[in-house]
Structure 1
């Protein structure tokens, strides 16, 4: 379940496949460029071009374990009895009141699923579509499922139909033996990036695995929500999911028996790579992170939760992205009351990520925090060194909110080092990405003010 979003500016609910409210609670949980400024005073919105996807370097023995755990378990921990997928070409339609950014982002995603995962999937306007993406307001979604920003559910085609069936076995994933019809509900009044992020995660779960695993560093099938668009790892999992050797109705043992040959065919490099055999993540860790970064907890409860996460990571002997993420969360919570401790947690997180393969995007998030501290100290050169390696990472991962944040931090650092004209150019460049990442003009301007306020030169000028 996507229960939180890494906070860059605004606190947003996350995308979540829906859980029935009745006795069968086993469901898996989890822009357009413009030629005109339109009077906003901001430059046109930017959008990403062709994706820059890298193939995962993973042992097939690790990949087989991941595949089974992703495919035969729900995020609630309940096992699924059989493997399910679509057994025919998949059609997708859009209904409701979609924002302008949804259509191009959906077209791009479908093309990636066709070319990278080899899935027969296409758009249609027919009411007989296998997958209906209904664009509704966030308020409508919250009325249906208060903690979700978006969700996916089987055997319905509209939000009103889901409301009528929400307490029945009809919308239970564990009751399926194959997939034929389902609906995804996305917000039409969120930022273009939030809509796209929901689209990637929900469509991936609609056609593929329903579980999330914290141990996966390079995947949207991970509750840390660092990755927001489908990665090379995700596409490989989906390619295996739709391999002809598998079929709906297979048991765990039947799928496991066929996986070695499938993975050898689609990931030949993985045959010779040594396995890592990452330790499973105890549910207590997932709950602790949720309590620390999710909604509905007091500050004291959040601190206790993040301390639990750190303790579990230490007891498990982790030296991977899970331990680093716990330190990142601790740093976020400590920032207001203990900036020295916050910086120490961020540095520890960065050091662990640096030793962990596949965590370049994770480090980019940490860099925003460390650079913010450096700017507050008036140390523009350090801030420039911190953000420089990660701007390309954010762009490659199509994270406009993160990219805009890094560029805005770079602009403030440039001003601190006397490069005012260059700072102005970088700041202007950031705004087009900010419009995609943060959405409405007020959100973009709020982000501008937030980062500008870090600069001690401007603080002195205001005083």
Structure 2
């Protein structure tokens, strides 16, 4: 508030000093941006750009809802929820992911605050655009879940869901920063990020304290080398998965929770999954068997036309 008052006062003073005559003038030129370059990024940027171009040409990475093609079905919505939220990808070996396993319901109980943090290779224009896009996404997720979800103001670092947009070299060297953001993070989790293979476009790790089913913090990593749509798709998937929809399912459609990459952005179907996940009738720690009848009941309320 003090800064705003100072700016306002300075503006008033300049008008008074000009004896009431307001003249238009061009805004001062913005200083040229001196971006840090990453020698490892050029090849990766070309690689991801080719993949995005190919996917879009094949009618993948769609940005529509797909709702007209797949009518909402309570039974299918409920089963997809159980597949996505009550199973989780598990780690096989030091870095790889292998299949998924039964899990319990995991979610946040405290308000979620996303914090965007960009490496020095990311331009001002990209930072501003991404902050705007993530802010819009956070509002949609908050409405769907009924849970307090927001994006921290631009340039601040206070939050519990950290989203790091990093180039290849920055990500490889991010271990110390990860340990600052998540005190007690183990070496394996750090290596998942610092040694992430190029086939992994982005990832999120959500953390629970004391082995519980309630998330306390999360870190998502987005590659700075991605073209715009791929980077936006990563935001949509990782920031939503980090709320507790932890797995993918072949039955999820229209959905971003499907490895076929048909949809790039979160759909109404996905928002319905989030609505189920944060319904107060469900509780952290519930097994699939215990949650199942409740999930089907909630789904029938979201798709009341199905008999």
- The 1-side partners of 2:102 and 2:169 are apart by 32
1:221 to 223, 242, 257: 257
1:61 to 75, 95, 99: 75
Which residue of the partner structure matches residue 85 of structure 1? 107
For normalisation by structure 1, the TM-score amounts to 0.42
Matches within 5 A, 1:5-404: 10-11=50-51, 54=67, 57-75=71-89, 76-97=98-119, 99-100=126-127, 101-125=129-153, 127-141=157-171, 143-146=194-197, 147-155=199-207, 176-269=212-305, 271-272=306-307
- The 2-side partners of 1:92 and 1:133 are apart by 7
1:141, 1:149 within 8 Å by CA — same for their partners in 2?
Answer: no
Task: Give the aligned length.
Answer: 212
- The 1-side partners of 2:212 and 2:101 are apart by 13
When the two chains are superposed, the root-mean-square deviation of aligned CA atoms in Å is 3.0
- The 1-side partners of 2:71 and 2:287 are apart by 28
**Deviation for aligned residue 1:238:** 0.8
1:138, 1:149 within 8 Å by CA — same for their partners in 2?
Answer: no
2:87, 2:100 within 8 Å by CA — same for their partners in 1?
Answer: yes
**Deviation for aligned residue 1:135:** 1.4
Q: Is there any run of 5+ residues in structure 2 with no aligned partner, and where? A: 1-46, 53-62, 90-97, 173-193
2:116, 2:162 within 8 Å by CA — same for their partners in 1?
Answer: yes
Deviation sequence 1:250-282 (CA, Å, 0-9, x none) = 12122112112212223323x32xxxxxxxxxx
- The 1-side partners of 2:66 and 2:253 are apart by 15
Q: Secondary structure of 2:252's match?
A: coil
Relative to structure 1, the CA distance from residue 114 to residue 177 in structure 2 (aligned partners, 3 Å threshold; closer, same or farther) is closer
Q: Secondary structure of 2:282's match?
A: coil
Q: Is there any run of 5+ residues in structure 1 with no aligned partner, and where? A: 1-6, 13-49, 156-169, 273-463
Q: Secondary structure of 1:256's match?
A: helix
Deviation sequence 1:180-226 (CA, Å, 0-9, x none) = 10101112232221211110011111013111112333110000011
Greater per-residue strand proportion = 2
Q: Structure with the greater relative contact order (CA < 8 A, sep ≥ 6): 1 or 2?
A: 2
Relative to structure 1, the CA distance from residue 135 to residue 53 in structure 2 (aligned partners, 3 Å threshold; closer, same or farther) is same
1:220, 1:228 within 8 Å by CA — same for their partners in 2?
Answer: yes
- The 1-side partners of 2:133 and 2:67 are apart by 20
**Deviation for aligned residue 1:139:** 4.3
1:141, 1:150 within 8 Å by CA — same for their partners in 2?
Answer: no
